[in-house]
Structure 1
Amino acid sequence: MCTLIDFMGSLSNWMWGPPMLALIVGGGIFLTIRLGFFQILHYPYILKQTFGTIFKKSKGQGTVSPFQAATTALASTIGASNIVGVPIAIAFGGPGAVFWMWVVSLIGCATKFSEIVLGVKYRELNEDGQYVGGPMYYLAAGIPNKTIGETLAIIFAFFTMIISAASVAAQSVSATQTVGVMGVSNITTGIILTLFVAVIVYGGITRIASVSSKLVPFMSSLYVLGALVVVLCNITALPDVLTLIFKSAFTPSATAGGLTGSSMAAAMRWGIARGTYSCEAGMGTAPVAHSAATTDHPVRQGLWGIFEITVSSLIICTMSALVVLTTGIWTQVDASLAASMPTLAFQSVFGDMIGGLMVSFSMLMFVISTIIVQVFYGEKQCEFFFGTKIAKFLKIFYVLAIFAGALGGLETVFSFLDVILGITMLPNMAGLLLMSGQVVALKKEFFSGPNYYLKDIKKH
């Protein structure tokens, strides 16, 4: 068994090295060029159509509002790694990793936009009269060669169905560990968490979206505001930190503890990996949530994918980076303990108890939101294969995975996570590249048709 785990670990390290990053970043660059760098050129308009329309009633057909669909996807995107993953990237890649995280996030906007656009274009009404979609639908229906398209769809849906259960269990472990420091037993945490999530997910997409639309803004604002206080208390260090981020992106720099140096290659490797994970562009999960949105055009909903990356990567991850950099904690802690940096940074301002509780509570909320939506994603893959009735029954296995994760002993399963994730991304990225022409056509239709108001452009 140890040999198998070691092999999977080696395979994961290789897969998530140059091969996968080349596919994700290279694919993102290809889509960015094909779409005319629209995520940069039209960014003010995109913000207006997302942040500016949160409280407006949307037009068109759908099951939930565009904002609810976006927060549902964000609930999965924003996880504990948004807090601890960034300092780890800084620890091994230096401050320059933050710059490359920003770059890959901007590039990933084109990828996430594309998959959401295709998700809405090829969505279907299920037996319950609700809109469903995602890579499994647009791969099967959108690729001209039906054999290739259906094969890619089956591969994506099958492995996503598996990884959703493993991901739920993994997130449950994080929740158990977070609560465990307060003396709560694993069994108690597992029971409470399982029942809480079950009540939400068995209410379907409408209840999940309703909870997410309230939970995500609350938990995100709480963490960002706390981080902002930490940064403001160390505001004199901010100019030097920003200079260090840009300088270290292209020149060797110190890493955690200042013990060793980080090359430009290391900064790129860790920054690109962090950006890829934080924006989830190309993973194919976001369009599953967005396909249920009420919208009058696929492109209009696709803009919410850029909203998600703005919140998850460009705001939350950036605040995590600034917290550990402005306080100087990153120079005082060994790289092996990088995950503790945010807690130490908060404690330096709020005190040991309050600072620790703020980070722990934020992590717990991030983890719970991820679990809720991962169960939903798993159910939708089951629905693709077996229909709505059987999928509702199979959903119980995803809910039980929460309790199984809380009990522990699933380390062997977790070793397969990154490998399976890589397998699910391959068919989705292949489909996005093959169908990029359709995304370009829809983008041109939107920006030149009645859906797009030229007067908005004149205001920017």
Structure 2
Amino acid sequence: MDVLTSWVGAINGVVWGPMMLVLILGVGLFLQIGLKLAPIFKIGAGFSLLWQGRQANEEDSQEGDISPFQSLMTAMSATVGTGNIAGVATAVFLGGPGALFWMWCTALVGMATKFSEAVLAVKYREVDEQGNHVGGPMYYIKNGLGAKWAWMGTAFAVFGMAAGFGIGNTVQSNSVAAVLESNFALPSWITGLILMVLTGAVLLGGIKRIGSVAGALVPLMAIGYLCAGLAVLIVNVEAIPAALGLIMQYAFTESAAEGGFAGAAVWAAIQFGVARGVFSNEAGLGSAPIAHAASQTTDPVRQGLIAMLGTFLDTIIICSITGLAIVTSGLWTSGESGAALTSAAFAQALPGVGNYLVAIALAVFAFTTILGWSLYGERCAEYLFGVKAIMPFRIVWILSVPVGALISMDFVWLLADTLNALMAIPNLVALALLSPVVFRLAREYFNSTAK
């Protein structure tokens, strides 16, 4: 196992090295410029379409399986998770407060990436033998780039299906088990069984039930966490200006060692800010467009405008609340990391309740991530093996949940993180190659709506 861990670690160092960060930021910036910053300037239009998309109109309802609103909530159910609580804290612990600045930069270019992914997902989606609308990177690679690129779509599906069992399943159930045991003394095996039953009850109903549950849970959990985070910031309001100053200062200068913080170079702030940002909002990873492909819409650009809101809400709003809560508390130098650091920051501002609020939020976030990623893995399995693979995949997925609650996760985290990067590579290449299609569709849509 040590040899395997060392081997995967070496691959991880390469795939999450400078070239990957340049690829993520470079493709996102290229798309943002090519779209003339529309994903930033059209945020208001996106929210308007999201509100209208709570229920698809009669024409759109014939194309797709779930409403545009439910598509975004399904995508966000997978992205709003441990990355918003543990991932942000880890970025600050390893890269210093400056990591938050680079996380924000990742989100701003990531909005263009997410917009483009959703546009292509709807443009090149298919209808399977069961009448479901299926799409995502594997389909826009196959249908948009042609047969000579099909191997790249297959590679994405293989990496996506495997990564799902790590980052979208066992890692999440393990995080829930750990936080509930430490805060409520609930045995891990009980947590695993409860999660398995709840997951099974939702998944066996397919995409429509996932969309329905996500549409109810995601807004509720996000608003609840934001309220708790804002309460922390109100308590620490006097420290906010200094915290923002630290974030900007350490984004461009080396962080000195302080207390339990070992110090970090500017490169560390960039690396961990970008990597944790992508881990949280999944822009460029290629996962979210799988959910958006099922949207009841006749216009790819409309769904793109809704999809990009996922990155904005996930990183610019929710991750910022977590990051500012940590930095304003001063505990980023305490030596704590991950969910424990976020929990400590909330508990300091809200004694007696803060840590429990974080524990409950993490548990709900992780559960919805299991649901969202189940769809991603299922679609990858279907692409590789056909619709006959759907039910076996769901059963294996459900049975994997309690396993994750009980096993040591260090290697699984490493493997899943590596597979995530391997998913991103073919997706980012496809986005760059298909960018003329995205630019053309966006131009036609914005010209028509301007009249």
TM-score (norm 1): 0.92
Is contact 1:47-1:307 (8 Å) kept? yes
Unpaired runs of 5+ residues, structure 1, are 455-460
CA offset digits 1:327-346 (Å, max 9, x no partner): 22223x11x54542221121
Q: CA deviation at 1:445?
A: 1.2
Paired position in structure 2 for 1:208: 210
* Aligned: 1:4 with 2:4: yes
1:41 aligns with 2:45: no
For residues 376 and 206 of structure 1, what CA distance do their matches in structure 2 show?
11
Asked if 1:316 corresponds to 2:318, the answer is yes
Summarize deviations over 1:160-210 as a string: whole Å, max 9, x none: 112212331121111211222222222222211111101101111110000
Quick one: structure 1 residues 20 and 87, their matched pair in 2 at CA, closer, same or farther if it must change by over 3 Å? Answer: same
1:171 equivalent in alignment to 2:172? yes
How far apart, in 2, do the equivalents of 1:448 and 1:404 lie?
Answer: 52
Work out the CA distance in 1 between the residues paired with 2:213 and 2:257.
40
CA distance in 1, matches of 2:419, 2:93: 27
What residue number does 1:130 align with?
132
Which shows bigger deviation, 134-143 or 268-277? 268-277
Deviation string, structure 1 residues 338-396 (Cα, Å, up to 9, x no partner): 542221121123213x2121010000001100011111211111211232233223321
Could you tell me which amino acid in structure 2 is paired with residue 94 of structure 1? Answer: G
User: Closer, same or farther in 2 for the Cα pair 1:107/1:386, shift >3 Å?
Assistant: same
Report the CA distance between 1:401 and its aligned residue: 1.1
Would the aligned equivalents of 2:8 and 2:414 in 1 still touch at CA under 8 Å?
yes
How do 1:284-433 and structure 2 match up within 5 A? Answer: 284-331=286-333, 333-334=334-335, 337=337, 339-352=339-352, 354-409=353-408, 411-433=410-432
Instruction: Give the match's secondary structure for 1:274.
Output: helix
Residue 36 of structure 2 aligns with an amino acid whose one-letter code is G
Q: Which moved more, 1:116-125 or 1:29-38?
A: 29-38
The whole-number CA distance in structure 2 between the counterparts of 1:173 and 1:277 is 17
Shift of 1:57: 4.2
Comparing 7-16 with 108-117, greater Cα deviation is found at 7-16
Please tell me the root mean square deviation across aligned C-alpha atoms, in Å.
Answer: 1.9
- Residue in 1 that maps onto 2:158: 158
Distance in 1, matches of 2:30 and 2:111, equals: 12
**In 2, distance between residues paired with 1:409 and 1:351?**
31
Q: Secondary structure at the match of 1:416?
A: helix
Q: Which amino acid aligns with 1:267?
A: A
1:62 to 51, 64, 82: 64
Aligned with 2:98 (options 78, 96, 99): 96
Does the 8 Å CA contact 2:15/2:422 hold for their aligned counterparts? no
C-alpha deviations, 1:314-335, integer Å up to 9, x for none? Answer: 111000011112222223x11x
1:97 Cα deviation after fit: 1.4
Q: Does the 8 Å contact 1:93/1:266 carry over to 2?
A: yes
Determine if contact 1:12/1:418 at 8 Å carries over to the other structure: yes
Distance 1:101 1:246 in 2: 12
Q: CA deviation at 1:283?
A: 0.9
Structure 1 stretches of 4+ with a deviation exceeding 6 A read none
Listed as ranges, the matches of 1:220-235 within 5 Å are: 220-235=222-237
Corresponding residue for residue 457 of structure 1 = none
Number of positions where the alignment pairs a residue of Structure 1 with one of Structure 2:
446
For residues 265 and 408 of structure 2, what CA distance do their matches in structure 1 show? 38
The aligned amino acid for 1:140 is: K
CA contact 2:174–2:409 (8 Å) conserved in 1: no
Shift of 1:69: 0.3
Task: Give the letter for the 2:80 counterpart.
Answer: I
* Maintained 8 Å contact 1:208/1:373: yes
Q: How many angstroms apart in 2 are the aligned matches of 1:259 and 1:112?
A: 34
Deviations 1:221-263 (A, max 9, x none): 1111001001011111112222222232223344663755433
Go from structure 1 to structure 2 and tell me whether the alpha carbon gap of 1:147 and 1:360 turns closer, same or farther (over 3 Å shift). same
The question of whether the paired residues in 1 share the 8 Å contact of 2:257 and 2:263 is answered with yes
Determine the structure 1 residue equivalent to 2:189. Answer: 187
1:278 aligns with 2:280: yes
Which residue does the alignment assign to 1:25?
25
User: Do the aligned residues in 2 keep the contact of 1:71 with 1:209 (CA within 8 Å)?
Assistant: yes
Q: 308-317 or 378-387, which moves further after superposition?
A: 378-387
Matched, 1:147 2:167: no
Deviates more, 1:372-381 or 1:211-220: 372-381
- TM-score using structure 2 length: 0.94
| Contact kept in structure 1, 2:96 and 2:255, CA below 8 Å | yes
* Partners of 2:253 and 2:266 within 8 A in 1: yes
Q: 2:300 and 2:257 mapped to 1: Cα distance?
A: 43
The range that moved more, 1-10 or 278-287, is: 1-10
CA–CA distance in structure 1, aligned partners of residues 256 and 233 of structure 2:
21
Q: Which AA in structure 1 matches 2:98? A: G
Q: Which moved more, 1:37-46 or 1:6-15?
A: 37-46
Residues 411 and 92 from structure 1, CA distance in 2 versus in 1: closer, same or farther, beyond 3 angstroms? closer
Question: What CA distance in whole angstroms lies between the structure 2 residues aligned with 1:425 and 1:348?
Answer: 38
Would you say the 8 A contact 1:90–1:256 is kept in 2?
Answer: no
